[in-house]
Amino acid sequence: MAPLDRPIRIGTDCSGMETPVMALRALKVEYEHMFSCDIEKSVKEQILANFPPKVWFDDLMARDNDSRSTPSVDLYVAGFPCQSFSAAGLGLGFNDKRGEVFFGCASYIEAKRPRVFVLENVKAILTNDGGDTFKTVMSTLKQIGSGAYHVSHKVLDTQDHGVPQSRKRVYFVGIRKNTVPAGFQGFEWPEELPRVSIEPFLNRRRKVPTMKDLPKKGGVTARSGAKEVLQQLKREGKDPLNKTYIIDIDASARYRNFMRDRCPCMTKSRAAGYWISSRARRMSLEEMLRCQGMEPGCFKQVVSDRAIGAQIGNAMSQNILERLFLKLLPLAGLVPASQALKDRFKSRAMMLPRSKVEEPKTGKRALEKAPKDKVTKKVGLKRRRV
């Protein structure tokens, strides 16, 4: 199929922060934002103030995908709700109303047949209901249009693509078969990059903290969480006041985790931000954005800090989407072959200090030696009080 001679038409469901649109902007790809959809009021306010689509839908499950009023697109992206499949939830899968949203996404793809679709969810969807949930997802996608798409999936970790956040998500990619070149051998996923230190992603620290510098907000759980982890690290011979550990101080002792020189997986429920041991404060909104591959200052904030923090924790990682689009868009003829798209995260990973890290530990152990502290200029959103 011939390449497009017009801007890419993009539509998103479960739109959140509109990371797909931010990714296209960062890649300098021309686009038409055809529609967005999200049930949360604060998300709608934020999107309409920054990335207004031609059409807004409040609920994709109430939408008539066959209607002419529902726009067709070239690129469709959705991060359907993860709570039904997450290991942190009840794991009800498709027996939960939120789990059914996947079928609404599949219905749109069936009706409008975009050239490319990208769906995202938590890694636990692969094993939910003994693996039957994953089998249903794959069979549903492969049956669209009587097999109209090349469908593949892979677990991608944000920290393996140039941003220091441990965030494993499964991505389902579909490419319409009549758009790929002859001899297509399957989608080539982005290669992993060296893991980078979190220090360039954090704002400059103002002073060396002491063991008495504990959270002023967050109640007993937050204060005790920070204190207990700091004491544990000191007992183990670590130096958490000068070396950076990112701590989930809002979790109970049983589920508390902390990581050396990188950020644990950010979530909607941790909207207040994790604790930075070497700064004796919570992560700022701009630091949280950077750890999702986003640039502070790329949008205006029209909702509360809490709402933005929740949206960041619920968002797709922009670095992952950018690197997927680098592969997908030329393959499906969505950008001219002559248009060189820049892999800025690969370029950046080659220059930033590297970090050797292990998997996150729950409740007890943290990790290993890290590179010397490095700081960057503060930009973007205001620092929040702790």
Nearest to 196 by CA among 14, 376, 76, 9: 376
| Whole-angstrom distance, CA of residue 16 vs CA of residue 341 | 25
Backbone angles phi, psi at 59, to 5 degrees: -150, 110
Give 214's contacts (C-beta < 8 A, 6+ positions apart).
223, 226, 227, 280
Nearest to 104 by CA among 66, 149, 130: 66
Cβ neighbours around 266 below 10 Å, total: 27
Give 215's contacts (C-beta < 8 A, 6+ positions apart).
222, 223, 226, 249, 275, 282, 386
Cβ neighbours around 308 below 10 Å, total: 21
Backbone angles phi, psi at 108, to 5 degrees: -65, -45
Q: Does 298 qualify as catalytic in the annotation?
A: no
Q: How far is CA 3 from CA 8, 11, 178, 340, in A?
A: 10, 19, 12, 14
Catalytic one of 14, 37, 82, 291: 82
| Whole-angstrom distance, CA of residue 385 vs CA of residue 283 | 10
Cβ neighbours around 305 below 10 Å, total: 17
Report, as residue numbers or ranges, the catalytic residues: 82
